[in-house]
Structure 1
Amino acid sequence: MSRWLTFLCLIVLVSGCAAYATHQFDTVFGEQNSQHRVVEVSEEDSAFYNEHVKPILDSRCVSCHACYDAPCQLKLTAPAGLERGGSKELVYDGTRLLASSPTRLFIDANTTDEWRSKGFHPVLNERDQSPAANLQGSLLYRAIALRAKQGSFTQPVLSDEYDFSLARDQQCVSVEEYNQFEQDYPNWGMPYGLPALSPSEYDVLSRWLATGGKMPAAAQAPADLKKKVALWESRLNGDDLKTQLVSRYIYEHLYLYSLYLDDGEAFRFQLVRSKTPPGEAIERIATRRPYDDPGVERVYYRLWLDQEVKVQKNHIPMQLDEARYARWQSYFYSSDYDVTKDPGYEPEIASNPFKTFQEIPTHARYRFLLDHSQKTIMSFIKGPVCRGQVAVNVINDQFWVYFIDPEVVYGKGSTDYLEDQVQGLDLPASSNSLPIASWVRFSEQQKSYLSAKAALIESAGFNNTPLDLDLIWDGEGVNTNAALTIFRHFDNASVVKGMVGQQPKTAWVIDYPLLERIHYLLVAGFDVYGNVGHQLVTRLYMDFLRMEGEMNFLLFLPKEDRESVRKYWYRDVSQIIKDYIFSDYIKVGRQSEVQYVTDDHQSELYEKLREKLSNVLDHSHDLEQSKLTRDQREALYKLQAVRGGGLVHLPNVSTVLVTQQGVPLEVISLIHNKAHANISSLLDEEETRLPDEDGVTLVKGVLGDYPNVLMQVEESELIDWAKQVGSLQTAEDYSVLLDTFGIRRTHPNFWFVSDAIANLNKQDRPRESGILDYNRLENR
């Protein structure tokens, strides 16, 4: 009882302090009024914001304040995020028992008052407008002023008073509470745990905030671009049932993408559902999932001008041009088929794409997804599941992905058979789930499906299709999406085109039913605001999909190899997993018809696939494409051959700036590929680690959206750097490496190196690049 009384007293005390602080602010600066933020911006103020203020916010603030995992939900990617402010509520909460209400910028509220009613507090002054009030009443100013007061760092590694863990207790205080915050956390100004703004940057932001923090309205698209918008909207909003169903299919797969309608980078759009038709102002339909009931008689698909700055961790670019439209037309309209009904939005239908879109030929749907398969897979990485070890520990640290050729497999008979089977597969569609009961049901359904699939492969009809490399899609010799590499970086991941890095432990071969289920499980059907049960059952279901992709790959190996290879992939797994992956339900007795000439069949298969796909393999990350010399590249390849030892001390992603007499020359990425006995452990991953089998991949350019450490290496020292990394033995050795080449959080050149990497990244990949995320920078 005494504990509860103490707790209640603390609540009363804190509430009383907050109320007193609010009263003090109200007395000095007037009562809070969000309408004070609605101001007319002069041409001069607009130019000052766009030319001076915005570049500082983008390069110094957005790196930590973007996406769902922005601290305190403070998104600084657009003026609307600044006006919305911050919140004490967490988006990523692995403990909540019930789903929370979504708070998506531009979707779940339209005005500042609406955000205030949802618990968001201002970070800009919303009281009387005077220079003093605008500064003292601005959380943003108080935060950068606190950091400036702290001064330069005096030690290379920050003390334990800083907490950089993703699961840290966030201090999401309002401006009324900031006096107490300054006393409790005097070193927690912004940028948090990074070098302070330069005097000129501080002066720009201070002047801007003192005069009211005025921000112009988003730039409007030029007239020629508006015509393209109107054209695409007319194409997507036909009145016939076929066009409406096809447009719904396109929307449910592209709603996260950044869509470009011209060759420039200034304007990009998102495909949204609206209550209003083309020609009228967009009224976005806010639902948890893209397939939820819109609550209106007719949905219109509109192109909404994206107002946020480009952030690489959630940026999925796609060009909408006439060539792409012609391909879509050939996929969806070349076949003679009828759409006889609107499938509606009942959850058991809408959550299962094989039911919803049954009347669109499977061949058309698969062709559409293959056309941009990297982005299809990337949506799982860059979508709402953009953070969390539990979300991505279902995949290995590096593996290659290939696809079944739709022209070979998807004949009428086999298509109809698989469609019938896959319609019986439920996907996790509830934001409030009970994981154990769901897992049992999903497991039985998956076994039944795989058993039917195995029977189909061994059937007389399918025996006319050899199990050889003709089954693998070659991109028709032009599409570079035919082979992908996925890198996992502990709690996030990257998807790139090509067969990047050394031969991986595992690989996937994906067919249409698998590709579609990956999307509806981890993208369309995933609710970042869902309860812990929803997130766990999503992770558990993805186990089935990973194993299915791996089993598809194993079919190309001699049948006598399959079980031993699978056992190697799943060393030390639990009996439950063994019973599943070695069950008779999923065994295929047909022999592979790939012709082998060596004893290392898996390695030989990789090289045969490399040869088959040689015309479409993307090489943009190859070191040969860099400005490095032959000797330097050879040193990096020697490092890439190192296994185990001190590599265990490397972080997941090291982003390395190579300079030539101090001038930025090139960026290379050092990826730590961590080995595991298996990846079937949900919560005890460390128990499956095999550090002696660890390796690294070195590539040209920025690979990984969340660098863990920045380094700067002079070109003349690059070979020595590679030798030093390869000879690491202890944590102290890694610390010495950072003493020589590291650009730690505390380094005075941090922002110079950060800006140089950003500039080279933009030059290297103008459309794909964006602001990197620094929430995972280490402190060691």
Structure 2
Amino acid sequence: MNKAKKSGAIVSVFIVIGMAFLLLGNQQPPEELIENHVTATEQSYSFSKSIKPIMDNKCLACHACYDAPCQLKLESSQGLARGASKKPVYDGERFQDTPPTRLYVDAQTPQEWRNKGFYSVLSAYTQSKHETSPPLMLQMLTLAKNNPLPINKKVPEEIQLGFDRVNYCPAPTEFADYAEEYPHGGMPLAVSGLDQNEYQILSTWLKQGSKIDSAPVTISKQEQLLMKQWETWLNQPDKKSTLLSRYLYEHLFLGHLYLSDANVNSHELNQSDLHHRGVNRTDINSTDINNTRAKATQFYQLIRSYTPTGEPPVIVATVRPNDDPKKPFFYRLIPIIDTIVHKTHITYRFDSDRLSHYQQLFYTSDWSVENLPGYGYKDRSNPFLTFAAIPAKQRYQFLLDDAEFFVRNFIRGPVCRGQIATNVIRDQFWIMFEDPNVEHYTNNANYQLSVNQHLGLPGEETSLLNFGSQWLRYNEDRNQYLDLRQKAYQQQFPKGPELNHIWDGDKTNNNAFLTVFRHHNSASVTEGWQGEIPLTAWLMGYPLLERTYYELVANFDVFGSISHQTQTRLYFDLIRNGAETNFLRFIPAASRQALYDSWYQSSAIIKTEIAYHELDVKTPSNIPYSRNQPKHELLETLLDKYPALNGGDDPINRCNDGCATQIEDSLHAQVAHAMSKIAAIPASQLAGIKWLPEVSFVRINLDQNPTHTKANENFLVYTLIRNRRHSSVAYLLGESLRYQEELDSLTIMPAPIGSYPNLILQMNLAELDDFVTSFSAIDSAKSFEQFIQRWSLGRMNPQFWNVFHSFKDYLQATRPLEAGIYDMNRYGNW
């Protein structure tokens, strides 16, 4: 039995056993109730003007996206009217795919959602002839109001919070039992809640019938014209345009597209600005923040619609963007009406310059389409065959131009939610790309033809019965492809790869070098190489980048079965391994095996033998080395070679004492220098890391007034990122068995990083040295608790929401296109 067959057999056995343990039984649907829709002749409060601002401020930080508790999505009035459901979206126990419940897509009216098992949170309910209960939302709000937790006290540990919290989602007739068992289970949950005025407004609105008015969406004439231009261009009827538009749509469907950034350019700062200057001018003040809010960019979504331009859109409600639409459709742009939340806000410029660039990139070369591909199994599972007519070099350049966007789609998209999704990547690693001028696939048509059949992706067959055969097939295909790839590169570059084979971003594109941080059960990506020299690095060429996108984004079904989800994540493991071994090609042949073994320790050695492709330890590297640490030397050489693309020197994580003083801005230099004192302590001696959560936002007030916590005062923002070390990340399960806590490290970033802060620390500038000293002195759980009591922002602090949202306002003033409300579902019991 070869490696791939052994791998398929072993993985199948473990998955079946694991699923037997995971199966906990099905929840029963809520009993059928009769809704009393109160018709109010007059309402005291407008939803758009009075109600939604409160929900955006006090509810949306938990109730957004697929991981909204009870699927109660509050980004818009449509989600509120839809109501709640007992069925979770993320479910690692289901044996079969479940029908999707995407807002705006899979049902259009509250009654249609009732038919899918959702129940109202706005309507009063008649439980019997003599009993009527108030709306579920009002009962939840009142429960919290009548059972407050102590102000400025730590939330009791018995109140389960965070990612692993079980959401009970009581239906209206179940609420009395829920309230009796969980008296502190009201909303907002275990956090400084509604003030008296907010409660009065919401309760009055709910009692008066909770009428929802819709705020109009204003689209400028300029953007209306550009929308029409885009839709005309995307819907050209010739085969060449049809295939290209399909390719573009399948890569942009998750994006938040902006047609014009004229209103925000003056506020936009790049990562280098944040490193070298910080934001200590008048960027963070009430005037600027109000101005940027007033000029907020309108974002759009690219959809497939059964109706053409000029008619109301009718979304093609397929599960995936490359599923068969069954009948003719049109590409349309629709405005995003939801309040923007950071965790799903993946932005992409879609202006007139982009349209011109597409025209230049894809239409200046000579290519044609004889027959359009369909939407069958082969077309969905192998994009290299589906889009073979489009020159591969242009496809690769399209991805490189905005590599951060495409990497962010699979690092921050629906697939990367939860520990099983993210535990096949390291906590901090750097990404680079092969130069398109030498990348072999995009420059050799014969090679493309020889490998395309091996580049298919698993996950389309989602039955558990097909799991073993599917995994066996695709793992074997992947290894056969790597055989062909290795031979082709040896022939093309017999002396080995050179430094200039790594893409330099054409000297101007900051997408050339990226950093990924894993935050245990979520992840984030940022431009430039951030933090200390990482344990591993990725080098991605076109086939690897495209396969990663299709496997984790276009072909991923968040409502899929455990078979589909496991196939996806197992292939992600192969992607990581392939990107790491691509990087190792640049290391001297004699040094590769030892480095590789340090990445795959203990039981992971078995995985390298039975599942991964054999490591090439013979082909030389055509890069001169002078030290005995070639990985560090190579990465440091690239840092020195392209400082502008990496944000320059890192004054905190990669500098010796004193380099922070080189920063032009003296105030930011002072803060960076203080923070660098923490980073300079060897991780083995910085005991405080042991008690830190994954992501800690730090707010440094500049006005010296400890009572000021409003979001419109001057302040700086930093993030403390805990990087956990593991002996390997080769398996989906059993992560704790591979954890090497003593090797954990800390990255300190001069910007908010991540979408899910676990902790907020705050201080005044004059207290910064005290903060550094107290953190450096942590040596026990007791001393960490004392540190938390002094510096942290507790959930029950009356100023919690002001400070929490100030990080969004900071981003609004510094990088407004990236700004969105942060998620607090992972905030601890501080």
Output the amino acid matched with 1:495: V
Q: Residues of 2 paired with 1:625 and 1:103: CA distance?
A: 51
Following superposition of structure 1 onto structure 2, how do residues 300-449 of structure 1 map, counting pairs within 5 Å?
300-410=330-440, 414-428=444-458, 429-433=460-464, 434-449=466-481
Shift of 1:144: 1.4
Instruction: Sort the Cα spacing of 1:582 and 1:360 in 2 relative to 1 into closer, same or farther, 3 A.
Output: closer
Query: 2:136: which partner in 1?
Result: 139
For structure 1, which segment, 508-517 or 92-101, has the greater mean C-alpha deviation from structure 2 after superposition?
92-101
Following superposition of structure 1 onto structure 2, how do residues 682-697 of structure 1 map, counting pairs within 5 Å?
682-697=732-747
Aligned: 1:734 with 2:774 = no
Deviations 1:717-739 (A, max 9, x none): 22222232233222222211111
Following superposition of structure 1 onto structure 2, how do residues 591-670 of structure 1 map, counting pairs within 5 Å?
591-618=620-647, 628-641=667-680, 642-644=682-684, 645-659=687-701, 660-662=704-706, 663=708, 664=713, 665-670=715-720
Instruction: Sort the Cα spacing of 1:279 and 1:247 in 2 relative to 1 into closer, same or farther, 3 A.
Output: same
**Secondary structure of the structure 1 residue equivalent to 2:817:** coil
Percent identity of equivalent pairs:
36
Instruction: Sort the Cα spacing of 1:246 and 1:126 in 2 relative to 1 into closer, same or farther, 3 A.
Output: farther
Q: Residues of 2 paired with 1:626 and 1:158: CA distance?
A: 40
**Secondary structure of the structure 2 residue equivalent to 1:407:** coil
**Secondary structure of the structure 1 residue equivalent to 2:816:** coil
Q: Residues of 1 paired with 2:775 and 2:483: CA distance?
A: 48
Aligned: 1:163 with 2:155 = no
Q: Residues of 2 paired with 1:370 and 1:170: CA distance?
A: 41
Deviations 1:665-723 (A, max 9, x none): 11110000111111113211111111121111111121010011111122112222223
Query: 1:590: which partner in 2?
Result: 619
Check conservation: 1:398, 1:673, Cα contact below 8 A: yes
Check conservation: 2:758, 2:827, Cα contact below 8 A: yes
Shift of 1:332: 1.2
Residue correspondences, number: 743
Aligned: 1:457 with 2:454 = no
Shift of 1:268: 1.1
Shift of 1:377: 0.6
Following superposition of structure 1 onto structure 2, how do residues 530-569 of structure 1 map, counting pairs within 5 Å?
530-569=560-599
Structure having greater relative contact order (Cα 8 Å, sep ≥ 6):
2
Instruction: Sort the Cα spacing of 1:385 and 1:412 in 2 relative to 1 into closer, same or farther, 3 A.
Output: closer
Shift of 1:152: 4.1
Instruction: Sort the Cα spacing of 1:508 and 1:777 in 2 relative to 1 into closer, same or farther, 3 A.
Output: same
Query: 1:511: which partner in 2?
Result: 541
Deviations 1:6-65 (A, max 9, x none): xxxxx99x98xx67xx5xxx6xxxx545xx68x9999x96xx433432221112101000
For structure 1, which segment, 679-688 or 152-161, has the greater mean C-alpha deviation from structure 2 after superposition?
152-161
Following superposition of structure 1 onto structure 2, how do residues 221-370 of structure 1 map, counting pairs within 5 Å?
221-263=219-261, 264=263, 265-296=296-327, 298-370=328-400
**Secondary structure of the structure 2 residue equivalent to 1:408:** coil
* Residue of structure 1 aligned with 2:516, choices 486, 494, 512: 486
The unaligned stretches of length 5 or more in structure 2 are 1-26, 264-295, 653-662
Deviations 1:482-502 (A, max 9, x none): 100000000000000001111
Aligned: 1:106 with 2:150 = no
Output the amino acid matched with 2:587: L
For structure 1, which segment, 84-93 or 628-637, has the greater mean C-alpha deviation from structure 2 after superposition?
628-637
Deviations 1:256-285 (A, max 9, x none): 000111225342110011111222211100
**Secondary structure of the structure 1 residue equivalent to 2:302:** strand
Output the amino acid matched with 1:214: K
Query: 1:89: which partner in 2?
Result: 87
Output the amino acid matched with 1:771: I
Instruction: Sort the Cα spacing of 1:161 and 1:691 in 2 relative to 1 into closer, same or farther, 3 A.
Output: closer
Q: Residues of 1 paired with 2:198 and 2:150: CA distance?
A: 18
* Residue of structure 1 aligned with 2:506, choices 476, 497, 501: 476
Output the amino acid matched with 1:647: I
Q: Residues of 2 paired with 1:774 and 1:242: CA distance?
A: 46
The unaligned stretches of length 5 or more in structure 1 are 1-10
Shift of 1:479: 1.1
For structure 1, which segment, 217-226 or 469-478, has the greater mean C-alpha deviation from structure 2 after superposition?
217-226
**Secondary structure of the structure 2 residue equivalent to 1:359:** coil
Check conservation: 1:65, 1:71, Cα contact below 8 A: yes
Q: Residues of 2 paired with 1:40 and 1:480: CA distance?
A: 57
For structure 1, which segment, 169-178 or 330-339, has the greater mean C-alpha deviation from structure 2 after superposition?
169-178
**Secondary structure of the structure 2 residue equivalent to 1:191:** coil
Instruction: Sort the Cα spacing of 1:607 and 1:186 in 2 relative to 1 into closer, same or farther, 3 A.
Output: same
Aligned: 1:150 with 2:150 = no
Output the amino acid matched with 1:199: Q
Instruction: Sort the Cα spacing of 1:752 and 1:154 in 2 relative to 1 into closer, same or farther, 3 A.
Output: closer
Check conservation: 2:235, 2:245, Cα contact below 8 A: yes
Q: Residues of 2 paired with 1:54 and 1:211: CA distance?
A: 16
Q: Residues of 1 paired with 2:772 and 2:755: CA distance?
A: 23
Query: 1:200: which partner in 2?
Result: 197
Check conservation: 1:621, 1:699, Cα contact below 8 A: no
Q: TM-score, normalised by structure 2?
A: 0.85
Q: Residues of 2 paired with 1:150 and 1:764: CA distance?
A: 39
Query: 2:276: which partner in 1?
Result: none
Output the amino acid matched with 1:636: M
Output the amino acid matched with 2:393: H
Output the amino acid matched with 2:698: V
Query: 1:3: which partner in 2?
Result: none
Q: Residues of 1 paired with 2:754 and 2:441: CA distance?
A: 39
Instruction: Sort the Cα spacing of 1:582 and 1:252 in 2 relative to 1 into closer, same or farther, 3 A.
Output: closer
Query: 2:277: which partner in 1?
Result: none
Deviations 1:539-563 (A, max 9, x none): 1111111011011111111111111
Shift of 1:215: 2.6
Shift of 1:588: 5.7
Check conservation: 2:416, 2:422, Cα contact below 8 A: no
Output the amino acid matched with 1:281: P
Output the amino acid matched with 1:276: T
Check conservation: 2:700, 2:717, Cα contact below 8 A: yes
Aligned: 1:176 with 2:173 = yes
Output the amino acid matched with 2:694: N
For structure 1, which segment, 449-458 or 731-740, has the greater mean C-alpha deviation from structure 2 after superposition?
731-740
Shift of 1:614: 2.3
Check conservation: 1:625, 1:700, Cα contact below 8 A: no
**Secondary structure of the structure 2 residue equivalent to 1:269:** strand
Check conservation: 1:432, 1:530, Cα contact below 8 A: no
Q: Residues of 1 paired with 2:463 and 2:68: CA distance?
A: 24
Q: Residues of 2 paired with 1:622 and 1:456: CA distance?
A: 42
Q: Residues of 1 paired with 2:403 and 2:467: CA distance?
A: 30
* Residue of structure 2 aligned with 1:759, choices 798, 809, 818: 809
Output the amino acid matched with 1:650: L
**Secondary structure of the structure 1 residue equivalent to 2:645:** coil
**Secondary structure of the structure 1 residue equivalent to 2:516:** strand
Deviations 1:191-237 (A, max 9, x none): 10111211222223223333332333252323332222111111110
Deviations 1:109-128 (A, max 9, x none): 11111101001001112679
Output the amino acid matched with 1:548: G
Output the amino acid matched with 1:661: N
Q: TM-score, normalised by structure 1?
A: 0.90
Query: 1:4: which partner in 2?
Result: none
Instruction: Sort the Cα spacing of 1:100 and 1:345 in 2 relative to 1 into closer, same or farther, 3 A.
Output: same
For structure 1, which segment, 718-727 or 304-313, has the greater mean C-alpha deviation from structure 2 after superposition?
718-727
Shift of 1:290: 0.7
Cα RMSD (Å):
2.6
Shift of 1:403: 0.5
